[in-house]
Chains A and B, each alone.
Chain A
Amino acid sequence: MTSASKVDALSSPELSVKLFVTDATKVDLEELIPVFHRWIREDLLEDEVAIDVAGYAHVPKGPGVTLICDHAHYAFDERAGRFGLRYRGRRVARGSGKDAIVGAFRRVLRGAALLEKEPALAGKYRFATGRIEFGISDRLLAPSGAETLAALRPTLEAALKEVYEAPAKSIALASGPREPLLAAVEAGASPSVDALLDRLAAVAR
């Protein structure tokens, strides 16, 4: 066993999950700025200390519009040319192992549900759940590579099974060695955002 695989990549707080929108042509990054400001004003992300909104609509394929919180970033980004909502933990690990991954899913799904129901967006934003992106932005604990992914695969699979109630169809490395670790996940099911949230709420009970 090499040193990288011995390291607990999932002890990093920097876990991320991205859900992609179903119709990228409807995306207008600038209209998301007032939406995220309202989230802050109305405390819609109850367990986050939401600080500010960073707007990068002028940067192609960038972080888009990012809601900066004390322990997370919620970015409606366009990385690699694909629009979606990305939750990324920051600073403080929220749970460990499988629970940390499920927690990241819960948070991104909550954000996606808010966007789907956002009155100002009039239902333009819908999220697919069948293909998602999982990542760890921590080059020290989780360097991008097959070895790291292999080491965390069993825990990731267990978490995906808990979220989707079905085993994942595929998990593949989606990042180069100089990038943060990213895995493209094809889930075993593609329920609605609300259905997944309901399921996770039931599991939590």
Chain B
Amino acid sequence: MCNKKSNKKKAENWLAIIAILLIIVAWFVGGQLENADILSSIQTKMPEIAKLKEVEESTYQIYNSNEEQLGYLTVEAAMGYGGPLKMAVAVDQNGKIFDLAVINSKETPSYLKKVLDAKFLDRLIGKSSQDEYSLGNGVDGISSATYSSRAIVQATIKGNRFIAAKMLGLDVPKEASPSLKFGTPEIILLLLFAVGYFAHKSTFKYTKIARWGTMLVGLFVLGFFYNKPFTLSMINQLFLGYFPPLYSQLYWYLLLGGIFLVLTVENKNPYCSWFCPFGAAQECMALVGGAKPRSTGKFKDVLKWTLRTITFLAIIAALLLRNPGVTSYEVFGTLFKLTGSGLQFAILGIVLVASLFIKRPWCTYLCPLGPVADYFTYLRKLIFNKWKKQKVNE
């Protein structure tokens, strides 16, 4: 019995190491794949352009099929929700944008599709390098895809002004320095962490009330109002090193920083049971249907390892594609912003109905963040034990 347990532990240790090695390999391979042919992508997405002549890195003189020069094109990037979003910006001889295309993006496909289907790029066509505009100021964003809309506008402005200044010799307005965005979601997030911290103390009497309070705030404010839950996409961003700008996405740093800090120091998950909006939605359904934790008998381990495998493959695919949002299969946005594919709506429907009878079915059997937290806790324990052993030997 003891031998069996020790063998299982050994196998888990090896799996943990192999997982890290595979993540590193996928990271390198993804880097090589990313440098795919950008030129053919431009010509496919901008059929008016027949010929490109490189004048400097990522900047081209562009011609139509009659060999007439149309102007210049440059590829510029800005940070979107999932990572850098690359735009091809075509500018005429007067400094006006006449064509645009998203060449490469790390956004969640359904969100980017929403932006492109709404003909958002057309709102920027005809803008001049002299025009002063930003998202919400001269250009309306696409609701629930604000990060993608902002990245498109920022990359477009950068590209347009670069061509105007460097290629056409025109004067361009100076870029205003961005200011730190510290608003309601950030304040609420800090308050939720603070309430969770005090409610965890053994002297605190109203733990149940505090937990329901944080869950409902999480559900309505972080979920339905802001749609800012913790997702696999954020973990993929960490692995890929796509850190969003601090000034515009302070929330990202507070959420991830807070969760991992508490996991490291206290070995407790401050998010899932306390203010995860989707967890709260399931618990509300459970109140209606009287759901209970349900056993899966001898299949418990099989289901646990299936979810771990799917999560691991999702992370590897995100690293290979250099796209953190692509494998973020959660149905959070489907519930809170009604954005998602037909399949996601089907999954959401099944999960919500199941929540009436099974306690937190998504969190228990389907959420990719469970295996991520398990893995982190496992590594933490491994490192902590080694460090403790070393200290004893000293």
Pair from one complex: no
